[in-house]
Chain A
Amino acid sequence: MKSPIMIRVKQKQIAQLASLGKRLDGRGLTDNREIQLEVGVVGRAEGSARVLLGKTDVLVGIKIGVGEPFSDAPDKGVQAVAIEA
């Protein structure tokens, strides 16, 4: 848990750096984080991809299966999204 004082100090630091055109991790104002993309990571999934954006790491898998459509939309499929945080 960060104390309110620490937050304010950090805020000031970020503002100071920004006025100099810099950021906490050493990037410039318009620089993006390093990005790495990869597909076909999970063999069991019909489709899968992984993205590494700085220290953010996200893995997505797609499964396709046959199911019964809802009775009010007999010609449409269903998409289910689940997020694991």
Chain B
Amino acid sequence: MSRKKPEKLIDEKDVRLDGRGLKELRPIKIEVGVLGNADGSAYIEQGKNKILAAVYGPKEAHPKHLAIADRALLRCRYHMAPFSVEDRKSPAPSRREVELSKVIREALEPAVFAEYYPRTSIDTFIEVLQADGGTRCAAITVASLALADAGIPMRGLVSACAAGKVEGRLVLDLMDAEDKGGEADLPLAWMPNLNAITLLQMDGNLTIDEFEKALNMAVEGCKQIHGLQKETLKAKYVAVKEEVEE
């Protein structure tokens, strides 16, 4: 890694490297139904993150022995493109990707009415085209939209956002430089409809007080993201309605 580490991640006026305030999210752009061949798909740009998610199913589970008698099998693959990071990443699944696939699946599972589709599988593929920190959160956000786009009945959308501590200050939605140079990172996936946390991880150290503050910040971030998710989904059906009326 030859990139020079900047001396300060946050200046005296609480302005971050990319010009954001402490409690500000990166600019987010979301699209749904971007792929023609998948049952459901979504694309997100969160700052420099670019992530694509595709959902196939519910369909007959293969191999058959994996099928569950009373509910659908949810499968998830998180994958980073070789060109998504500074140093080329091998296209083979890394330990990190295998773990993230698992935690993302577990973050989405409580949202899906899997019992409506026994003996089937619902497969989610997440492709990180460009990574800049907080990809697991953006991946959960975009995967839950892709599931909704596939028409799979859900208890609600899952929104995800990270908070953390950088240079002694609590910040929302860490980017790569802050993640690497900061003291703590707290990714959170939250379901606004159920007021339930479906993923909570922590990297680094926080005091109990800081942890509670960071958690509340992350929840606030999730609320904002949830608003954007709803807007995007609704916008798609408004467009379809207009097309039908024409």
Contact = CB atoms under 8 A, between A and B. Distances in A.
Interface of A: 42-46, 48, 55, 57, 59, 61-63, 65, 82, 84
B50 A42 contact: yes
Interface in B1-41: 35-36
Nearest to B85: A44
Nearest to A42: B130
The DSSP consensus for interface residues of chain B is loop
Interface stretch (B76-84, B115-123, B192-200, B215-223): B76-84
Given A42-B50, A42-B130, A43-B130, A63 B36 contact: no
Given A45-B83, A63-B83, A84-B91, 5 more contacts: A42-B130, A44-B83, A46-B83, A63-B82, A84-B127
Query: Across chains A and B, which 9 residue pairs bring their CB atoms closest together, nearest first?
Result: A61-B83, A45-B83, A63-B88, A82-B91, A63-B83, A65-B88, A42-B130, A44-B130, A55-B36
A45 B50 CA distance: 13
B131 A61 contact: no
B88 A59 contact: no
A13 to B, nearest CB: 21
A63 B131 CA distance: 14
9 contacts: A42-B81, A42-B83, A42-B84, A43-B130, A44-B131, A61-B81, A61-B82, A61-B84, A65-B87
Contacts of A63: 82-83, 87-88
Nearest to B131: A44
A34 B182 CA distance: 47
Which of A43, A44, A48, A65 has the largest number of chain B CB atoms within 10 A? A44
A84 B50 CA distance: 16
